[in-house]
Structure 1
């Protein structure tokens, strides 16, 4: 690999490049007083507390001490093979990606926990992502979490994964024992990307890097959190917004359908797919997904994922028809009201 510029190694990546495909070189060991180098190519999935994690195409992760890094650069994503299966990933990897693709406006670390806040706009951006030991006894971690969110006028939530090797079920049970309650049950579903790109109607969809006023008006979650919502929606490694014009329909204000996709290495995260009531059952949701999937394929992704609430049968039926299958379940544990005051 050619890392050099002017005959010298250069580290040309930073923590802001998390989610991008990179090539890095590090000192693996010292033999007879001389460094032995090792290289890794993959998606930079995290860069925290002096440690980088690069996830290779086969799903294996390489942990690299920042102090051992001697060179690094962003590399173009390899074109995805049409018809390829969705790449394998653990629940943790997908939840980390989902957090990057729906980024909070403020974060704090408590050991292996990441506390996220965004003015109350969605539970995902205003909850703890527990990816390890908090570094203190659980009762203390729960109390600190409640205070952190209480200082921001927010309820305390912890997002927990259920099922599979990355299950947080033990944590969930412990929080229940402390008076926390479960809500917001959902599934994270995955699918190969290429078949979605082949759905009809993509030609009628307009894509943009930014969500305009019409797009935000159509999105039902924006509400009073307009400014914060715009920042969360616009954050992520490679964000695309889709809209289908209403073609002058006087009964529809704004676009007839919208959607959002964030390309994050091997995966594309889909969400905010909504269709105006008078334009439903016309294939517009599929058209939006197809247009976004084509863009994601162009950027090297081969897998897709999305989140859907377990009780939303209509959405689940739609996504089932597109090839999405459940990967894992998750929900939120909400702190007791007395702890929020």
Structure 2
């Protein structure tokens, strides 16, 4: 049943559901399939929207609530769930969802389902485990990375090393599910730009993930990163506008 709500948000009749139902309703959305099955928590559906809990590694606490569907329907669904969600919970919703989020951040979810053509510097890429060197490179580029060595979010790192063993590029493999891989923290040394290293390390990692059984590879890009957007457009990534933030108390 649908009824009007304050602020123009439509409250949808919320129905407890299952992850299998959500996968069927959304056609196997990659934001669901990129989460390890054991960390896909409670799920709900409503007219025009679905939502599920993405759990932390302890599988007992909530990492985020992911909403999929039309912005108005997702807002109605999450509004209807407010009594079931902890105060200040982090949410990941379609861009334009009319919710009063605290600390909102606009970004784009990019997913590719095929490996792009071979890039010119792929032969320079390999897996790499020197966390200090990776941290130095990340700090040299920006401090606003979602993944850092030692924080437990990456299962491994890839890198391009220079002639004197300095790092020219790095990438975090944050994959947790066997279905849709995930990469992040793709950084290139300022002195090594315009050498196709960003494209090369990305495609190299994608190639490995597809070889390991993934049928897609996703990543997140902050809205203002136009150079990265152009790169992922060229590499054939789909594009979905999202917003993250916290539901206020």
TM > 0.5: yes
TM superposition shift of 1:283: 1.2
Between 1 and 2, higher relative CO (CA 8 Å, sep ≥ 6) is seen in: 2
TM superposition shift of 1:181: 4.4
Structure possessing the higher radius of gyration over alpha carbons: 1
For residue 29 of structure 2, what is the aligned residue in structure 1? 93
Gaps of 5+ in 1: 1-50, 63-88, 119-124, 147-155, 163-168, 235-239
Q: 1:140 aligns with which of 83, 101, 113?
A: 83
TM-score (norm 2): 0.65
Superposition map of 1:10-49 within 5 A: none
Deviations, residues 202-250 of structure 1 (Å, cap 9, x unaligned):
1111115x56332233234588x967x531223xxxxx4210112217x
Q: Report the CA distance shift for 1:226/1:314 in structure 2 as closer, same or farther (over 3 A).
A: closer
Q: 2:199 aligns with which of 281, 286, 300?
A: 286
- Report if aligned partners of 1:186, 1:310 keep a CA contact under 8 Å in 2: yes
For residue 243 of structure 1, what is the aligned residue in structure 2? 159
Q: Distance in 1 between matches of 2:177 and 2:54?
A: 21
Q: 2:241 aligns with which of 318, 324, 329?
A: 329
For residue 188 of structure 1, what is the aligned residue in structure 2? 109
TM superposition shift of 1:288: 0.7
CA RMSD across the alignment: 4.1
TM superposition shift of 1:265: 3.5
Q: Report the CA distance shift for 1:302/1:333 in structure 2 as closer, same or farther (over 3 A).
A: closer
- Report if aligned partners of 1:110, 1:135 keep a CA contact under 8 Å in 2: no
Q: Does 1:129 align with 2:66?
A: yes
Q: Distance in 1 between matches of 2:219 and 2:109?
A: 6
- Report if aligned partners of 1:215, 1:258 keep a CA contact under 8 Å in 2: yes
TM superposition shift of 1:130: 4.5
SS state at 2:91 partner: strand
- Report if aligned partners of 2:170, 2:185 keep a CA contact under 8 Å in 1: yes
Q: Does 1:230 align with 2:151?
A: yes
Q: 2:188 aligns with which of 275, 280, 301?
A: 275
- Report if aligned partners of 1:268, 1:304 keep a CA contact under 8 Å in 2: yes
- Report if aligned partners of 1:244, 1:255 keep a CA contact under 8 Å in 2: yes
- Report if aligned partners of 2:36, 2:176 keep a CA contact under 8 Å in 1: no
Q: Does 1:258 align with 2:170?
A: yes
TM superposition shift of 1:199: 1.6
